[in-house]
Amino acid sequence: MANSEPKIIYEDEAMLVINKPAGLVVNRSETSTYTLQDWIETRVHSRGVRNSHPGSEFRSGIVHRLDKETSGVLVIAKTPEVLVALQRQFKERRVVKTYVALVYGKLVPRQGVIAVPIGRNRRNRAKFAVMSGGRPAETAYEVKRYYPEYTLVELKPTTGRTHQLRVHLNYFGHPVVGDERYAGAKQRQVARQKWGRHLLHAQSLSLIHPVTGKQMKWQAELPAEFKL
Q: Which residues are catalytic?
A: 67
Nearest to 159 by CA among 192, 121, 115: 115
CA distance 214 to 7: 23
Per DSSP bridges, beta strands 200-208 and 71-77 are parallel
Q: Is residue 115 within 8 Å of residue 103, measured between CB atoms?
A: no
CB count within 10 Å of CB 212 equals 10
